Structure 1
Amino acid sequence: MAEGLIQKATGQKQLEDLGSDYFRELSARSFFQPSSRGELSRFVMHDLINDLAQFVARRICFRMEEKLENNEGHTIITKARHSSYVRGYYDGMQKFEIFQNAKNLRSFLPFGLRDNDSYLTSDVPLQLLPSLRRLRVLSLRRYRICELSSSIGDLKHVRFLDLTGALIATLPESVSTLYNLQTLILIDCRNLSKLPTNMSNLINLRHLDVTRANSLQEMPPKIGKLTSLLTLSNFIVRQGNGSTINELGSLIQLRGTLCISGLENVENAMDATRANLKDKQHLDVLLMKWSNISDNSRNTSVDSEVLDMLRPHGKLKELTINGYHGPKFPTWVGNSLFSNMVNLKFQNCDKCISLPPLGRLPSLTKLYIQGTKALQNVGLEFYGSGSSNPFPALEFLTFADMAEWKDWTPFEVEEGSQAFSRLSELSIKRCPKLLGKLPNNLPSLRKLDIKDCPLLVVAWVPCPTGLIEVRNTLQFDSLISLSLKDVSILNSFNNLEVGNEAAATENARYSPLSSLTSLRVESIQGLTCLPSWFVQGLAGLQELSLYGCPELTSLWKNEVRIHHHLLTLQRLVIEGCPKLISLFEEDEDEEGLQQHEELPYMMQLEYLEIKNCEKMEKLPRGLHNLRSLLELMINTCPCIISFPKTGLPSTLRTLRIESCDALRSLPELMMLTSLEKLEVLSCPSLMYLCSSSTGLPCNLRNMHVWGCAKLESVLAEEGMKINCTSLESFAICKCESLKSLPDVTQNNFDGGCLKNLNYLMIEDCENVESIPEGWFAATNLRELQVYGCKKLNGLPHHAYNNLTSLQLLRISSWDVATELISHFTNLTFLRLENVDKGGNKPPSEWGLHRLSSLRRLILVDYGWASFPPVEEEEEDGMMLWLPPSLNGLRILLFRNLEKLSCKEFRSLELLHIWDCPKLTTITKLGLPLSLVHLWISGCPLLSELLIDRLPPSLLDLYIHRCPLLKERCSKKKKGQYWPLISHIPQVEIDFENVFLDPSN
């Protein structure tokens, strides 16, 4: 459309419909094909078609990413009509220099590989784009631009303008002179508060999309003159001299989705009639919004009359009514003539005391009722009088935040009648007074979610005598997911006894919950256990979760020998049950050992998690019989001292133990032959990890130990060695009592017994004095981090020759011969923290320049007064101490640093200067021309940038806790450095975007 390729023929079809026809025709001929991603709106070109299209269009189209020969490229660009490029996260002016000669350009289209926001230099919207006078298609989609030039009005040919995600507060008034404009997209322009006053001049405008432009307060005057509008996402009614709802009347062509907000500003109900919604036959979705602000001065009768007058046409598919203050809904809501209605929402209608007869809507599939605070009863009128099968198509029903709702009158079922025959999901949330009877004849219900309804009493049938009289008996034969939170149960639910095993089995045979696969129980007061008769009925349960049940002491009692407990259960989570002592009640033998019948229970369990159970004392002795268990998580169970002597199942792959304060020992790890991941965190009483003389499990791949203050050794017996060829990652952190790592078994294979180890971290283990040499025979080690170990003297010398694959090295507080680091020739990341600070050799002799692959360098806590750390007479050779491959440099905690220069780092893209309290100057030698990211923080004396200009490559500037520099970079105060930084796409000072924040 914007390129004029679609010409309107005679007849009633709109240009958009013609374009859709053309696209369908091309798709039918395989010119376009549906995307393999499965998204209905995405299509792709076959490679051969794409190649042909590019060949045919090569003289008028170009993509910025294409490499063009000099002469050919100049010719193409000067004649090009259409361009596209992939949007980066930061896009500076250098990227767009190619457009300086593209004076014939008609299309400026950035595309994002992802729909994330990006930052664009202000030079593009303020200088470059106004010079491209022949543009027809202009997109700045997802660029966080803060300003548009008023000269955008000179782009008289623009027909398509997309500013999605822009941070602009107002559009220039000159936009009103873009008389050919057909499409204006302002989606997610959350700061936009006003549209141009004279927008009514844009008589060719067909699409105005202000979706989620939530700061917009009104429509421009006389918007009703835009009679070509097909899309208007939100019409905002303004009180007083603003846009009145009358303006909608003439916009007869509107289609798709329309939101009318600010309806509280309609003072005369007759004005609503003039909106003429009945004649807008192409609308599919309608949203009506009143302000949610409680205002007792509002006239509820006006609200009722306005809604009555806003009756839409009968083909509407979706309707939302939000913030309506009338006591009841008009008769057209729920009228069976709305036969196409599939989705209906009532939100925050807090004065409404009754619901319309929605059961008469034959196509309704989704109904959402939320915030009707005055409603006390959902009565028979809800179903619709005379209807034998109300809600015949409804699949999803939600009630939420209904503060006064007490009772739901069930539909009176007669022979041949059925309400909610297709209802699949029912959700009732935050209805604190609901205590009435719920419908229980829901043959298609698969998911039931009841939360925060503390007066609602629920039970299941059939069940033992004593619960039959409960008002809400759950009897849903198709139910697969049930979630209950903060509802009531009878005390007898826990105490009922089933006389014998046969009776329990017979009861389970007819359980209405036999199809259930997922059960979540949360915050149920009085629940002490799951009765055997109930558990027996969960024949197909796969997931069981119990959260915040304060009285729960065990899952079930052991009073009856039950042969089949949850045979299909795969996932069990118990969290926040402070009285839980054990999973199951168990007897003890004469020696005090736990006894439990060795019967098959939960034999398909794969995942078990127990968290925040303060009184949990023991795990079941029969835990080792769970032959399918793959993951076991124990978190914040401070009373557990040890694991069962019978151990854990050999199938276990992941074991995570966290915040178990009393835990003194782990299970026998060597028996866990399938264990791949072991994490032990914050277990302050644990003294060792492995008791077996054979060390770690043979298939262990990842081991992480953190915060075990009393841990003295990984292995219990002195002299034990590790032999674990599968180990890939090993980390031990904040273990103050640890003195050394265990030795490693030697063998003749390359890399020794740790041949697969690629990650080794030892952090804040202040008493570790040495690391056995065997750890450094791991020739595949890629990351080594050893810091905060005050007594550690350094690496064994042979490590510098063995670790040929090392790519990341972080070390601190070593008196190490720094020049030996240059042996790690494959390093890409190096952090030196207080290393060789007292050494005799200057940094230029450290040999770091030989690290030809080094990309990132972090230097922490050095006392140099200048950077680079050289004398004035050495400046000619001062950069020889670091490699030319370096593209990232971070300088942290240089307490004596006064001046800095990094110009000669010719490849440097990232520079961080952090906490250098004496730094005053970035010298005249300045910054490298390749610099992209500059972050400066905690430099309170820094005020001088002795440079004429910042590198044009700079895309990201961050300044924090630098008050003097902040003053000079202020836009508002016209600081002397503002001209130096105004072109940078992203400038943030003290966490504020300077282009957006008025204080700057």
Structure 2
Amino acid sequence: MFLEDKSKDVLKKNARYLRTLLSMDSICGNMFSEFKSVRVLSFRICGGNELPSSIMKLIHLRILNIKKSHIARLPDWISELIHLQTLRAEVEELQLPSTLKYLINLRHLYVPRYVELPTEIGKLTCLQTLGYFRVGDKSGHKIEELGSLNNLKGKLEIFDLEKVGNKEEAEKANLHKKSKLLELNLKWALDREGETTNDEDVLEGLQPHSNLMKLEIEGFKGIRFPSWSPVENVHQDSWVQLDNLIDIRLTWCSECDEIPVFGQLPNLKSLYLYELSCVKFINSSAHESECIVFPALESLEMYDMPKLTEWVHTESVGVSGVKLFPHLQYLVIKRCKQLTNFPALFCSPLKTLDIVDIGSYMPIANIFETELTLLTQLFVRRIDDQGFLPDCLFSSNPNLSVLEIKECRNLRGLPDGLCTIKSLEKLIIRECPNLEHVGVQHSEGSLTCLKELEIEDCNALLHLPCELLGSSLEKLVLENLSSLKNVAEIIDCLPKLARLTWLRILGVPQFSAVGYSRNCILNIDVSMIGSMEIVDGILQGCSLQIKYLNLKGREVWESLPESLQILKLSNFGMEELPDWLGNLSSLIELNISNCKKLRRLPIDVIQCIAKLRYLSISECPGVCFHISQWPEISHIAFIGIDGQRVVAERDDAVRREELWRIFLEQKQHQNSYSKKV
């Protein structure tokens, strides 16, 4: 039953029959004494930060949910709820009482992982859900408390393992007996520089059950991993068979110089390696009994391994035709600056390849030694000696949808065939100062699916083929392309881009325009373009629903898009604004600045713009203001002149007119003073 105010009378009449109470709002604690048969209770506390003592009488309670309350501490009497099976108390800064250990039927405990668990948690032998355990120095908080919790299932994180004394103490956790535990995170403190550790012994004693599916080891400072992990040249019977592992994460294991031979695990789908700073090579050797290495792996990620020089794949004598990574779809290698060798992916259905800051082009060459044909995303960044991408890249991967190349300083060109990738939706090239061409041939057609094109800081690029500007283009960014020769040709294509909503062209010869899609912003500096026809083509030809337009440096124009909501005009040489300005029925904001020749405002025109709420005029010294103008502009909520707020929306009508008069008097005084000076 859901409790609302209008149902409280009905609730009291039927309190003794109620089994489930889910309160939508805060309720007062004195009501609970009536619900003696309730099994499920979920509510928020009405005032204070204590659990109502009347709950103590709910001896049949099985589930208590107070995660939306502000309780600071559970009371000692919580132990009276002897039938309680589930306690959800995900409350910040919660304190748990020592009497919690007497809830012998408790199966599921949900509290934030930074909350300190009570002493002797090991007495809760029925416990199935315990998200974390922090090893302590004192009795009742040591790792042996986990020893009796053999019903734990799901996920368990164990923190502060540096406080475990030795292998024998670690074995008291009995992790190898917890057959329902599927995910295990073993974590040591990261700030242990210079300390002598016993991490290898401790990890040896934390052998998990063979049913484990996910394993994470963080902060381990041993040189070698334990004998229960798959290590080459160790007899098979000497370590537990972790055949059910599907996910392994090794992070911040800064002293280990090799990783286990995980290629033997038949179900491993994801391998994540981060900050293994002493590992120099990885071996995925194949032995006589194996024809597939990493038979199920789909995702491989390697980050920040500064000493890693190579991933070696070798085959034993008499073994040939071994398949490596036959199911690999996602490969990430980042900040492995010494890496010079990586196995060829002969049989891999790789879809995403992300390589950043590896110092050598050779791993990419190795990966593409055989033609990959299923790539959908390719990210390449900071590979200094990369002059070219593989010739087969575009011709062999017709399903490529995302291509990003950044900070490859020696890259000179892209292979031919770019425009044959009809599925390409996003192309980004940045900070490739020696890039000269993008590998497009006129016979290839255009990129009809391309939605986003960004080319920046490529000052050697001479020609940008218009075939890249397809009909689906929504975002176009061209910036700092100082050698580009066909700017006029590119500009001629803009009116044809019916879906374009984001335009930014800066730092290219003879043109400057900036657009922002979410608010449909378009900034055009006419003084840099030099052609009125180009501006007209952009404004009238594009089907941009332009809401924000910033025009700079134009003498005259015939019209502007009626969709405009914000218009900024600057550096214009006209003496007055055109009458058709009143046709901009959607205009909300008008900014006029640095128009030295402007003599008068079309007050009658401004009056026609019914939605105008913001008017700003600055650095227009020739414009005259008069009290008679006020009736025509009084509907404008905010008026600012030369950086001064004249009237604001919060001012009432009488005050607004008074402020306008005060402004005019100040303006007249300033002008008189200026003439005298």
Q: TM-score by structure 2 length?
A: 0.77
Residues 824-882 of structure 1: per-residue CA shift (max 9 Å, x gap): xxxxxx9357987563599xxxxxxxxxxxxxxxxxx9xxxxxxxxxxxxxxxxxxxxx
For the 8 Å contact 1:676–1:700, the answer to whether it is kept is no
Deviation of 1:249 (Å): 1.9
Deviation of 1:235 (Å): 1.7
Match of 2:565 among 712, 716, 730: 730
Judged with a 3 Å threshold, the aligned counterparts in structure 2 of structure 1 residues 447 and 693 are, in CA distance, closer, same or farther, namely closer
1:315-330 → structure 2 map (5 Å cutoff): 315-330=211-226
Where does residue 21 of structure 2 map in the other structure?
A: 107
For the 8 Å contact 1:743–1:772, the answer to whether it is kept is no
What amino acid maps onto 1:770 in structure 2? L
Match of 1:568 among 422, 437, 460: 422
Residues 868-923 of structure 1: per-residue CA shift (max 9 Å, x gap): xxxxxxxxxxxxxxxxxxxxxxxxxxxxxxxxxxxxxxxxxxxxxxxxxxxxxxxx
What amino acid maps onto 1:327 in structure 2? I
1:361 aligns with 2:220: no
For the 8 Å contact 2:125–2:151, the answer to whether it is kept is yes
Judged with a 3 Å threshold, the aligned counterparts in structure 2 of structure 1 residues 315 and 685 are, in CA distance, closer, same or farther, namely same
Where does residue 660 of structure 1 map in the other structure?
A: 506
Match of 2:114 among 176, 191, 215: 215
Rounded to whole Å, the distance in 2 between the matches of 1:678 and 1:106 is: 52
1:309 aligns with 2:144: no
Rounded to whole Å, the distance in 2 between the matches of 1:733 and 1:723 is: 12
Deviation of 1:638 (Å): 7.7
Residues 308-339 of structure 1: per-residue CA shift (max 9 Å, x gap): 22222222222222222222222222357333
SS in 2 for 1:634: strand
Residues 111-168 of structure 1: per-residue CA shift (max 9 Å, x gap): xxxxxxxxx9xxx5xx823653337544358x9x997216457544254333447676
For the 8 Å contact 2:210–2:240, the answer to whether it is kept is no
SS in 2 for 1:278: helix
Rounded to whole Å, the distance in 1 between the matches of 2:657 and 2:338 is: 75
For the 8 Å contact 2:324–2:345, the answer to whether it is kept is no
Task: Tell me how large the CA RMSD over aligned residues is.
Answer: 4.7
1:392-541 → structure 2 map (5 Å cutoff): 392-412=295-315, 414-415=319-320, 417-455=322-360, 457-458=362-363, 460=365, 472=366, 474-476=368-370, 512-527=371-386, 541=400
Where does residue 262 of structure 1 map in the other structure?
A: 160
Deviation of 1:208 (Å): 0.9
Deviation of 1:207 (Å): 0.9
Deviation of 1:106 (Å): 5.6
Where does residue 577 of structure 1 map in the other structure?
A: 431
Judged with a 3 Å threshold, the aligned counterparts in structure 2 of structure 1 residues 731 and 529 are, in CA distance, closer, same or farther, namely farther
Rounded to whole Å, the distance in 2 between the matches of 1:692 and 1:308 is: 73
Deviation of 1:204 (Å): 2.6
Match of 2:580 among 744, 748, 767: 744
What amino acid maps onto 1:524 in structure 2? I
Judged with a 3 Å threshold, the aligned counterparts in structure 2 of structure 1 residues 546 and 426 are, in CA distance, closer, same or farther, namely closer
Where does residue 812 of structure 1 map in the other structure?
A: 639
The more displaced of 407-416 and 198-207 is: 407-416
SS in 2 for 1:762: strand
How many residues align structurally? 628
Where does residue 241 of structure 2 map in the other structure?
A: 337
SS in 1 for 2:87: strand
SS in 1 for 2:454: strand
Deviation of 1:648 (Å): 0.9
Rounded to whole Å, the distance in 2 between the matches of 1:161 and 1:256 is: 21
Where does residue 10 of structure 2 map in the other structure?
A: 76
1:249 aligns with 2:151: no
Rounded to whole Å, the distance in 2 between the matches of 1:537 and 1:337 is: 40
Residues 644-689 of structure 1: per-residue CA shift (max 9 Å, x gap): 157115530316444726776579x9xxxxx999633485955889
For the 8 Å contact 1:766–1:788, the answer to whether it is kept is no
Deviation of 1:206 (Å): 1.5
SS in 1 for 2:540: coil
SS in 1 for 2:170: helix
1:760 aligns with 2:595: no
Where does residue 129 of structure 1 map in the other structure?
A: 29
For the 8 Å contact 2:434–2:460, the answer to whether it is kept is yes
Where does residue 691 of structure 1 map in the other structure?
A: 533
Rounded to whole Å, the distance in 1 between the matches of 2:418 and 2:55 is: 79
Rounded to whole Å, the distance in 2 between the matches of 1:702 and 1:772 is: 27
SS in 2 for 1:321: strand
For the 8 Å contact 2:4–2:23, the answer to whether it is kept is no
Where does residue 205 of structure 1 map in the other structure?
A: 106
SS in 1 for 2:136: coil
Identity of aligned residues (%): 23
Where does residue 291 of structure 1 map in the other structure?
A: 189
Rounded to whole Å, the distance in 2 between the matches of 1:677 and 1:131 is: 53
Where does residue 486 of structure 1 map in the other structure?
A: none
Rounded to whole Å, the distance in 2 between the matches of 1:384 and 1:835 is: 89
Deviation of 1:265 (Å): 1.0
SS in 1 for 2:144: helix
SS in 2 for 1:789: strand
SS in 1 for 2:348: coil
Rounded to whole Å, the distance in 2 between the matches of 1:261 and 1:772 is: 72
Judged with a 3 Å threshold, the aligned counterparts in structure 2 of structure 1 residues 80 and 611 are, in CA distance, closer, same or farther, namely farther
For the 8 Å contact 2:354–2:380, the answer to whether it is kept is no
Where does residue 951 of structure 1 map in the other structure?
A: none
Q: Which runs of 5+ in 2 are unaligned?
A: 231-238, 642-646, 664-677
Rounded to whole Å, the distance in 1 between the matches of 2:279 and 2:417 is: 48
SS in 2 for 1:198: helix
1:770 aligns with 2:601: yes
Judged with a 3 Å threshold, the aligned counterparts in structure 2 of structure 1 residues 422 and 274 are, in CA distance, closer, same or farther, namely same
SS in 1 for 2:565: strand
1:40-189 → structure 2 map (5 Å cutoff): 61-62=1-2, 64=4, 75-79=9-13, 107-110=21-24, 124=26, 128-129=28-29, 131-133=31-33, 134=35, 137-139=40-42, 148-149=49-50, 151-152=52-53, 154-157=55-58, 158-164=61-67, 170-187=73-90, 189=91
SS in 1 for 2:263: helix
For the 8 Å contact 1:812–1:835, the answer to whether it is kept is no
What amino acid maps onto 2:403 in structure 1? L
1:391 aligns with 2:309: no
Rounded to whole Å, the distance in 1 between the matches of 2:480 and 2:542 is: 28
For the 8 Å contact 1:153–1:176, the answer to whether it is kept is no
Judged with a 3 Å threshold, the aligned counterparts in structure 2 of structure 1 residues 250 and 656 are, in CA distance, closer, same or farther, namely closer
Where does residue 236 of structure 1 map in the other structure?
A: 134
Judged with a 3 Å threshold, the aligned counterparts in structure 2 of structure 1 residues 415 and 582 are, in CA distance, closer, same or farther, namely closer
For the 8 Å contact 1:660–1:682, the answer to whether it is kept is no
What amino acid maps onto 2:580 in structure 1? V
Deviation of 1:613 (Å): 1.9
Judged with a 3 Å threshold, the aligned counterparts in structure 2 of structure 1 residues 180 and 681 are, in CA distance, closer, same or farther, namely farther
Judged with a 3 Å threshold, the aligned counterparts in structure 2 of structure 1 residues 429 and 223 are, in CA distance, closer, same or farther, namely same
Deviation of 1:772 (Å): 7.9
Judged with a 3 Å threshold, the aligned counterparts in structure 2 of structure 1 residues 318 and 691 are, in CA distance, closer, same or farther, namely same
Deviation of 1:575 (Å): 4.5
Where does residue 471 of structure 2 map in the other structure?
A: 628
Residues 236-288 of structure 1: per-residue CA shift (max 9 Å, x gap): 21013451122222222222222222221111422222222233222222222
SS in 2 for 1:443: coil
Deviation of 1:170 (Å): 4.7
For the 8 Å contact 2:446–2:468, the answer to whether it is kept is no
From the two aligned structures, give the one with the greater helix fraction: 2
SS in 1 for 2:98: coil
Rounded to whole Å, the distance in 2 between the matches of 1:649 and 1:401 is: 43
For the 8 Å contact 2:512–2:524, the answer to whether it is kept is no
What amino acid maps onto 2:280 in structure 1? Q
Q: Which runs of 5+ in 1 are unaligned?
A: 1-60, 83-102, 111-119, 461-471, 477-511, 557-561, 586-595, 670-674, 747-751, 804-808, 815-820, 822-829, 843-860, 862-1000
